[in-house]
Amino acid sequence: MIYELISMKDRVSLITGGAGHLGRAMASALAEIGSSVVIVDLDLEMCQVVADELTETFNVPTLPIGVDLTNEDALRTIVNQVDKQFGRLDVLVNNAAYVGTSALKGWAVPFEEQTSESWRKAFDINLTAVFNLTQAFEPLLKDSMKGSIINIASIYGIVGPDLRLYAGTGMGNPAAYAASKGGLIQFTRWCATALAPNIRVNAITPGGISRNQAKDFVERYVSRTPLGRMASENDFLGAVAYLASDLSAYVTGHNLVVDGGWSVW
Give the model's pLDDT for residue 3: 83
| Helix H or strand E segment including 183 | helix 175-194
Residues 125 and 97: beta-carbon distance below 8 Å: yes
Q: Where are the alpha helices (DSSP H) in 103-174?
A: 116-123, 129-144
Determine the angle formed by the axes of helices 129-144 and 72-86, rounding to 10 degrees: 20
- Strand ranges of the sheet holding 199-206, from the earlier edge strand across to the other edge: 62-66, 36-41, 12-16, 91-94, 147-152, 199-206, 255-258
State how far the Cα of 126 lies from the Cα of 10, in Å rounded to an integer. 29
Beta-carbon-side half-sphere exposure of residue 122 (alpha carbons within 13 Å): 29
Provide the residue ranges of all domains of the chain, joining segments of one domain with +: 2-264
CA distance 141 to 158: 28
Q: What is the pLDDT of residues 5-42, one digit of tens each?
A: 999 999 999 999 999 999 999 999 999 999 999 999 99
The H or E element spanning position 15 is strand 12-16
Residue 2 has what pLDDT?
A: 87
**CB 45, CB 69: distance < 8 Å:** no
DSSP 231: B
Counting as low any pLDDT under 50, the low residues of the chain are none
Helix (H) or strand (E) holding 96: none
What's the pLDDT at 203?
Answer: 98
Look at residue 1 in the predicted model and tell me its pLDDT: 82
CB 127 within 8 A of CB 183: yes
pLDDT score at 33: 98
In the DSSP assignment, the letter for residue 208 is P
Catalytic residues: 177
Q: Is 65 helix (H, G, I), strand (E, B) or coil?
A: strand
User: For 126, which DSSP code?
Assistant: I
The answer, as to whether pTM is greater than 0.85, is yes
**Bridge pairing between strands 62-66 and 36-41:** parallel
CB-facing half-sphere around the CA of 186: CA atoms within 13 A: 9
Give the architecture (CATH level 2) of 2-264.
3-Layer(aba) Sandwich (3.40)
The dihedral over CA atoms of 248, 253, 254, 255, expressed in degrees to the nearest 10, equals: 130
Predicted local distance difference test score (pLDDT) of residue 141: 98
Burial class (CB in 10 A: 0-12, 13-18, 19+), 186: middle
pLDDT per position as a tens digit, 105-118: 899 899 999 999 99
Give backbone dihedrals phi and psi of 62, rounded to 5 degrees, phi first. Answer: -135, 160
Looking at residue 125, the DSSP 8-state letter turns out to be I
